[in-house]
Amino acid sequence: MTSLLGRPKRVLVTGGAGFIGSHLTRRLLERGDDVVVVDNFYSGSRDNILELRDEPRFELMRHDVTFPLYIEVDEIYHLACPASPVFYQRDPVQTTKTCVHGSINMLGLAKRTNAKILLASTSEVYGDPAVHPQEESYWGNVNTIGIRSCYDEGKRAAETLFFDYWRQHQLRIKVARIFNTYGPRMAPDDGRVVSNFIVQALQGQPLTIFGDGQQTRSFCYVDDLVEGLIRLMDSPDEVTGPINLGNPGEFTMLELAEKVLALVGGDSKLEYRPLPQDDPVRRRPDITRAQTTLGWGPTVPLDEGLARTVDHFRAKLAGV
């Protein structure tokens, strides 16, 4: 893609060495953008972007977004923040700082450079929802002082900042609320249910089920999610969001475990543990707004996406 000046767009991806960020970076490079990845590698990995080192339009900066950044860009995809409970609960104060200070710094950069900026928000802003499925008009049911609050409330504050910059400074903003996403390059130790189940099954360990396993999630394959992010960024300026991006297919944890075991084989059992504090009981996006505004919807069925993800982890654990 080219900028208004006739040159390739210069796009900043914060958190670009993470799971979603690395997939997004590849897509942007494939379409001809110049891409600057910023990451402090707290939860991202150099391995995710190692093969991009020699790409002439790729640039990597080790930087923490809680500190200001001074570069020239046309667009900013602001993904920087640990998104799995294992990582964001390890240093909850830093998680909140990343959400709040990081957003302030990236919004300031967008204001100075007149760049369009997209926030990777989350379905966690809905908390343990009292409305099902969740549509963007729902304000959520979030515990402000729980162990997940650093992330949930941090992202809610980030959304507030984005819309205040839009109202006060007429900044061109986009806010995506991302539901559970999975696929190759997930970290095997990030504590998310898809990677947990697959790694446990491949290693012949029991699959950890929290609670009774009847809680539900909706799983979106990463390629579909990236397509939604790009469509949102490329949408007209009056489309600010928030817009839900996720797959409305709803599965219990027991159903997911059965699917993983069927793909991997072996004789792993299920091991039940207490449900963590504030863990949402149900989660499913209403994607009507994404369908009508962006012409977007998921295309990869869960069985197909899981098979690709199992192949990735099988190769990774084998050292291939």
Residue with tokens 């991009």: 52
The interaxial angle of helices 92-113 and 149-169, nearest 10 deg, is 20
As given in the structure block, the two tokens for residue 206 are: 């029991």
Residues 6+ apart with CB under 8 A from 214: 252, 253, 254
Any catalytic annotation for residue 151? yes
Which one from 42, 77, 126, 151 is the annotated catalytic residue? 151
SS (H, E, C) the chain: CECCCCCECEEEEECCCCHHHHHHHHHHHHCCCEEEEEECCCCCCHHHCHHHCCCCCEEEEECCCCCCCCCCCCEEEECCCCCCHHHHCCCHHHHHHHHHHHHHHHHHHHHHHCCEEEEEEEHHHHECCCCCCECCCCCCECCCCCCCHHHHHHHHHHHHHHHHHHHHHCCCEEEEEECCEECCCCCCCCCCHHHHHHHHHHCCCCEEEECCCCCEECCEEHHHHHHHHHHHHHCCCCCCCCEEECCCCCEEHHHHHHHHHHHHCCCCCEEEECCCCCCCCCCCECCHHHHHHHCCCCCCCHHHHHHHHHHHHHHHHCCC
> What's the rounded Cα separation, in Å, for the pair 257 and 262?
9
Residue with tokens 């923490």: 64
As given in the structure block, the two tokens for residue 231 are: 């469509």
Catalytic site residues? 151
